[in-house]
Amino acid sequence: MAETNRRPLVRKTPRGWFFQNSSSRRYLLRELTALPMAAFAIHLLCGLVALSRGPEVWAAWLAYSRHPLVLAATAIALAATILHAVTWFSLSAAVVKVAPKPVIVGLQVTFALVALGAAVTWLAVMG
């Protein structure tokens, strides 16, 4: 193998890369929505366990759920869920892209319909 004077410099991604621009910060926010949603899922799981252990435990879980701090955490989880759902459905529309935007004027409408259709389906399943 021929000798070379090349010494390519490999730079590592800085630890705080997600604070570098607004796009990364939005992405970080979207990913962080998983944490309050996971916490709320654990809270609901505890409720199921409480339900299986009798009326007293269930009443205690209900009282715990009405605590202002738990209500605040639930509100945060709801906001995180809505944020994640909105960003997810808006992104999912890009996957069905069929043509360059300038060529089909109604494409944005198509995107909106796909996002709306996905959201309605999700609500129907969840409801």
Partner 1 sequence: MSACTGCADRTPPPTNLGKATLRVFRYRPGGLVNGWHDTFEVPYGTNTSVIDALQWIKEHLDPTLAFRASCRMGICGSCGLMIEGRPRLACETFVRTLGSQATIEPLANFAVERDLVVDKQPFLDALRSVRPWVVGDDGTRAAEPGQPAEPAQSVEPGRQTPPQLMKYQDFAQCINCLLCYAACPQAGFERGFLGPAATATAMRYNRDSRDHGAGKRLEVLDTDEGIWPCTFVGACSQVCPKGVDPAAAIQMAKLIAAGRWAKDMVSHG
Binding footprint of partner 1 on the chain (CB under 8 A): 5-13, 17-18, 20-21, 23-24, 27, 31, 91-92, 94-95, 97-101, 103-104
Q: What is the DSSP letter of 97?
A: -
Query: What span, in angstroms and rounded, lies between the C-alpha atoms of 75 and 71?
Result: 6
Vertex 70: Cα angle to 66 and 72 (nearest 5) = 105
Nearest distance in Å: CB 11, partner 1: 7
* Token pair of 45 as six digits: 């799981």
Nearest distance in Å: CB 9, partner 1: 4
Nearer to partner 1, 99 or 124 (CB): 99
Nearer to partner 1, 6 or 66 (CB): 6
Nearest distance in Å: CB 29, partner 1: 12
- CA 66 to chain centroid, in Å, comes to 25
* Token pair of 39 as six digits: 């916490």
Residues with Cβ within 8 Å of 19's Cβ and at least 6 positions away in sequence, in order, are 25, 28
Nearer to partner 1, 31 or 123 (CB): 31
Nearest distance in Å: CB 27, partner 1: 5
Nearer to partner 1, 32 or 70 (CB): 32
